[in-house]
């Protein structure tokens, strides 16, 4: 790999590294932008021609994440391979890694994390606190009742944005169960949900971002707003950072990781899940931190020194989701009014079509006071609507 062979004398050819990104969504798109800034080029693998990341990288392989041929082609065109999604064929990645291709985070770790049951097992073995659970490979009413309600069923694979998760309060809720291999775990009556981003370099150094408070709409497991710094006591924030670092160290992860946690009424912290990649809760770092999560990830996987994760200003973030009832080419309503509010940054992901609840963009609001940032973000949410040219 050219980078490491010459990094000893601190001299790099351009491009500094050719980054292969599996997944061409918004995370990949923002990673490509950061990569260009630090002198890297990117090639993106995504089945969708002209994907959000492919549009910016200018080089895309159109192919499936499970296609060994496409993954090999990507590896051949890259110095380092990484990903913006988790649902990838890890067998091929493990084979490529054994053949000497640099892939971070390492494919074996991705294989553990992409299966929610294996992920829980790994966390439990490392002594990381998380909700008590059992495997439910063939979900039955008897097994659920024996475990006890309230409980949360989670599909072992393929869930995201809460789609593989069922919260069940009573045995009657079993009617809504997911008929797929799963785990069931205790329902945690959380005071708050926090997310902490941690980067870990190839040399084992870590950098931890401030805990973010994830606010959910009541009764739904769809994220409503993110606030940073989280409105928690200083000692809770410090404990959350320690737990996040401990988790990434236990996994020996290289790259950036999003650690989602529950904070309970008695002040204890439980890890909900680990994302082995940049994370929605880290988007605010683009405007609000010294080094954003995308550049930080690239520094980690290319062996460059990690950057300062310090928070420059409090921030609030909202996702811009496709409004239900519309499809087709997106139409952005209220953009001008939103941008007229000081401290508002709008990110649109370049998706060709909208649909109900699809992540089409996000908005970060900076303000010296986190409550004011939250209020401005509420105003922006009321202003911006992503509708589509086609009504359902
Ligand atoms: N054990 C639990 N107790 C209470 N609530 C839970 C539990 N597990 C999950 N939830 C709720 O469901 C949400 C989604 O769960 P989880 O993060 O595990 O799934 P996901 O599909 O990976 O979601 P995402 O992609 O949005 O992170 C959590 O943020 C939380 O609000
Ligand atoms: Mg989650």
Closest CA to 164 of 176, 149, 146, 148: 176
- Predicted pLDDT of residue 9: 79
State how far the Cα of 182 lies from the Cα of 167, in Å rounded to an integer: 13
Q: From the CB of 149, is ligand 1 less than 6 Å away?
A: no
Sign of CA dihedral 119, 125, 130, 134: positive
CA-to-CA separations, 293 to 199, 214, 307, 336, 387, in angstroms, rounded: 8, 17, 10, 28, 29
Maximum separation of any 2 CA atoms in the chain, in Å = 66
Domains by residue range for the chain, with CATH: 2-103 (3.40.50.20), 132-186 (3.30.1490.20), 190-391 (3.30.470.20)
Tell me the sheet residues that pair with 154.
165, 183
The segments of the chain whose pLDDT lies below 50 read 1-2, 5-6
State the closest ligand 1 atom to the C-alpha of 131, by its place in the atom list counted from 1: 1
Q: From the CB of 159, is ligand 1 less than 6 Å away?
A: yes
Helix (H, G, I), strand (E, B) or coil at 212: strand
165: CB partners within 8 A, 6+ apart: 152, 153, 154, 155, 159, 221
* Burial label, 365 (beta-carbon count in 10 A; 0-12, 13-18, 19+): buried
Q: From the CB of 188, is ligand 1 less than 6 Å away?
A: yes
State the closest ligand 1 atom to the C-alpha of 159, by its place in the atom list counted from 1: 21
- Predicted pLDDT of residue 8: 64
In this prediction the pTM is 0.96
SS3 assignment for 74-129: HHHCCCEEEECCCCCCHHHHHHHHHCCCEECCCHHHHHHHHCHHHHHHHHHHCCCC
- Predicted pLDDT of residue 6: 44
| Rg for the chain, CA atoms, rounded | 21
State how far the Cα of 114 lies from the Cα of 71, in Å rounded to an integer: 18
Helix (H, G, I), strand (E, B) or coil at 256: strand
Q: From the CB of 258, is ligand 1 less than 6 Å away?
A: no
Q: Write b or e for each residue in 166-188: b if 16 or more Cβ atoms lie within 10 A of its Cβ, otherwise e.
A: bebeeeebbeebbebbbbbbbeb
Instruction: Enter the tokens of residue 249.
Output: 């160290």
CA of 262 to the centre of ligand 2 (A): 11
Closest CA to 345 of 390, 309, 313: 313
pLDDT tens, residue by residue, 246-273? 999 999 999 999 999 999 999 999 999 9
Q: From the CB of 162, is ligand 1 less than 6 Å away?
A: yes
Q: From the CB of 95, is ligand 1 less than 6 Å away?
A: no
Q: From the CB of 78, is ligand 1 less than 6 Å away?
A: no
Residue with CA closest to ligand 1 atom 24: 161
The closest ligand to the CA of 86 turns out to be 1
Q: How many CB atoms lie within 10 A of CB 204?
A: 9
């Amino acid at each position: 790999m050219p980078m490491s062979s010459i990094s000893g004398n601190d001299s790099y050819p351009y491009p500094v590294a050719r980054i292969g990104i599996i997944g061409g969504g918004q995370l990949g798109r923002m990673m490509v932008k950061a990569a260009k800034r630090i002198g890297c080029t990117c090639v993106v693998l995504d089945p969708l021609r002209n994907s959000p990341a492919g549009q910016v990288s200018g080089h895309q392989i159109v192919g499936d994440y499970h296609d060994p041929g496409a993954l090999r082609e990507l590896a051949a065109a890259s110095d380092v391979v990484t990903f913006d999604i988790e649902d990838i064929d890890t067998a091929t990645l493990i084979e490529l890694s054994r053949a000497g291709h640099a892939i971070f985070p390492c494919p074996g770790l991705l294989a553990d994390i992409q299966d929610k049951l294996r992920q829980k097992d790994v966390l439990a073995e490392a002594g990381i606190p998380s909700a008590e659970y059992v495997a439910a490979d063939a979900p039955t009413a008897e097994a659920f009742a024996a475990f006890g309600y309230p409980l949360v069923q989670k599909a072992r694979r393929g869930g995201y944005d809460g789609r593989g998760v069922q919260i069940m309060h009573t045995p009657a809720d079993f009617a809504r169960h997911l008929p797929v291999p799963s785990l069931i775990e205790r329902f945690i009556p959380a005071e708050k949900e926090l997310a902490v981003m941690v980067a870990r370099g190839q040399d084992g150094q870590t950098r931890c971002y401030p805990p973010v408070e994830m606010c959910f709409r009541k009764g739904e497991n769809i994220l409503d707003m993110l606030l940073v710094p989280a409105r928690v006591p200083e000692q809770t924030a410090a404990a959350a950072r320690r737990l996040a670092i401990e988790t990434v160290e236990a996994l020996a992860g290289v790259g950036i990781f999003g650690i989602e946690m529950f904070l309970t009424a008695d002040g204890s912290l439980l890890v909900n899940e680990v994302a082995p990649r940049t994370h929605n809760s880290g988007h605010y770092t683009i405007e609000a931190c010294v080094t954003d999560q995308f550049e930080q990830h690239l520094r980690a996987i290319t062996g460059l020194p990690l950057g300062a994760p310090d928070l420059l200003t409090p921030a609030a973030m909202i996702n811009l989701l496709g409004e239900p009832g519309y499809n087709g080419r997106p139409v952005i309503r209220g953009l001008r009014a939103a941008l007229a509010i000081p401290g508002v940054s709008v990110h649109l992901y370049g998706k060709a079509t909208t649909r109900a609840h699809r992540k089409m963009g996000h908005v970060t609001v900076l303000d010296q006071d986190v409550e004011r940032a939250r209020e401005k973000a509420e105003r922006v949410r009321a202003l911006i609507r992503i509708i589509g040219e086609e009504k359902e």
